[in-house]
Structure 1
Amino acid sequence: MKILKKVLLVLVILIALIAVIALILPSEVAVERSITINASPASIYEEVANLRKTGKWSPWDLKDPNITYVFSGPESGVGAKKKWSSEHEEVGNGTQEVIEAIPNQKVRTELYFGGFDEPSYANFTLEENGDATEVTWTLEGDMGSNPIFKIMGLFMDSMVGPAYEEGLANLKSRVESKPIFTADISVTTAEPINYLAIRETFDVTNPETIGPRMGEIYGQLLGYINKNGVMGAGQPMSVYINLNETGWEADVAIPVADPGEVSDESISVGQTPGGKVVKAIHMGDYNKLDDTHKQLQAYMQFNELEANGQGYEIYVSDPTESDTSQWRTDVYYPIK
C-alpha cells in the first residue's frame, strides 16, 4: 500500500510539473537555416515557388520513393498547392500551399501535417549578394497548449534543422548545375489554336530563302481567308512537323476562329494541342531562334518534362519593324 501511495505521489508530481511546464513554455517554435548559392534570385525562386519541383531537393520528398502527390492551383506562386501521402514515418501525410510570393524575393507556404490541427509556415527569403544569393529557410509553428507538444517544441530545432541544412545543400547543388537560360522560359497553359496552313520543307543550309518563301505562303493564306470570309484569330505562326540538320518541315499557318470547309487543296486545317506548355519569349532576329529552341530543350531535359505534341512559333511582332531587337517570337512546346 505504501509503495502504491508513493507511485501515485510521483505521478501527481509529474502531472503538476507538466502542467507548470505547459504554462511556462512558449507555444511558438521557429527553425532557421541559411546558405549562399552562386546563382541569381530568379533561378532559385523558380525552384521554391513551384511545389512540383520540391521533390528534386526537399529531404522529406527524397526519403520515400513511393510518396504520392496531388497538385492543384497554378503551376507556381500564390495558390499552388500540394497534397502528399506517405507510409514513411518521417514523411506522413499533409498539405502545403503557397500563400505569399514576391518574385525573386520571398515565398511563404502554409503547411498542415497529419495529426496537427494548427498550421505551420515555411518561408524562403532570397537576398542578392553580388553574383550570389543568400537563401534563408525558416519554419514557424504553434504547438498549442498541449504540454507534450510544447516539450516537443524544445527539440524542434535539433529535429528539423539538420533536414533544412540537407535540403538547402540539395537546392544549392541543383541550382548551381542548372543550364543558363538567356530566354524568358516558363511553364504555363495554352488554349488550342485552330489554323489554316500550307506545309513546306525549308532548306536550313540556305536560311536566306526561308523568309521570302514564308512571306509568299502567308500571302496565299491571307488571300484565301479574305476571299472566303474566314475570320482570323491571331498572329502568323508555324507548327513544326519535322526538324533535322538540313531540313525544316512545318505548317506555315494563320490562326482562324472557324476554318469551315476548305476548297483549296494546297491548304490544310490543323489545331495545336491545348494544355501545359513550356513557353519561351524570343526577342531578336529570326536567324537566332535556333538558340532559343536549344535552351527550351535543355530546360525540358533539366526539369524532366516530356513532350506532348508538335511545338510551334507565334510571330508576335511585325517583321517590317526595322529594329530587329524588337522582333518577338513566342515559342511553345506542349508537355505532359
Structure 2
Amino acid sequence: MKNRLLLVFIVLIAVLAVSVYFIPPVKTSGYKVLVTCNSAATMRIIVNENNWEKWWPGKKSGQSMYTYHGFTYRIDKILLNGFDATIFNGKDSAKANLQIEPVSMDSSNFTWTYASILPANPAKKILYYINGFPFAGNIKNLTGEMKKHFDQQENVYGMRISRDKVKDSTLVSLKNTLDHYPTTEDVYGMIAATKEYIQKNGGKQTDFPMLNVHQTGITSYETMIGIPTAVPVPADERFITKRMVLGFILTSEIKGGVATVKEAEQQMNNYVLDHNKLSPAIPFQQLVTDRMQEKDTTKWITRLYFPVFY
C-alpha cells in the first residue's frame, strides 16, 4: 500500500515537474486549408467589414465581434492579407492571425496561427498541450465553412463567369455622346436606327443588340450599340461595320435593372484584374430582354461579355 502511494506521489511530482519546467505557458499552433479562390478577390471581401455578415458562418454579436459555435472572435485588426483576432471561449482566450496566401491564379491558402495560454493546473496543462486546446477544433470547423463559401465563384463575384469563344464576328455599330447616363429610350432609339440601317442595306440581324457605355467626363457618356449581322453591311459616316476577333470571351448572365448590371460589370472587371487578363476589345452588354416592352426591371436579362486574349 505504501509503495502504491509512493508511486502515485512520484507520478504527481513528475507531472508537476514536466508541466512547470518543460511545457511553455503559451502554446502556438497553426492550421492551413487550400481554397479555390483568387487571393486578391478574397481580400477585397475580407478587408471590408461591411461584407462580413455575407460570409461569416456564425453571427455578429457586436462591434467587430462574431460568434461561431459558442466561441467569440473579436477582430482586432484587418490587414492587407488577412486579420488579427482574439478568440474567447469562456475564461480562455487565444491570439490568432489569419493570412490569405496566393498559391495560383485561382487558389489561395487560408493559414491560421494562434497562441493560447495553457491552464495553470499541471494535469490539465499537459492534457491540453498533447490534445490541443478547444480552439483548434473551432478554428478548423470555421475554416471549413469559409472554404465552402469562397470556393463558390458566385459568392465572390456575385455571378458565374465562364470563358467561351467569340461567335459573332460582324456587327454594325452606332455611337453617340450624351450629357447623361443613357436612358432606356436613348438606347432603344439607337437600336431602332441601327436596325433600320441594316434592313435598308440588305443585312440580317443574327443576335440580340449589344451596348457599351463609357463615362468620359463628369457629364459625358460615350454610348455605343452594336447589332450582329450575318454578313458585312456597307458603312457610312454614322454606322460603322466592325469585325470581332474570333478569340476568347468572358461571359455571364445577369437578371435585374441598370444598377444591378453596373455592379455586375464592376465585378467582371475585378475578375479580369484579379486574373491578369488582357483584352483586345471593349466589354459590352447584350440586351436579351426588350427593355421597352418589359417595364419590370427585375425581369430584365442581360448578358455580359468581356473579350480576353486567354
- The two structures have a TM-score, normalised by structure 2, of 0.49
- Structure showing greater radius of gyration is 2
- The two structures have a TM-score, normalised by structure 1, of 0.45
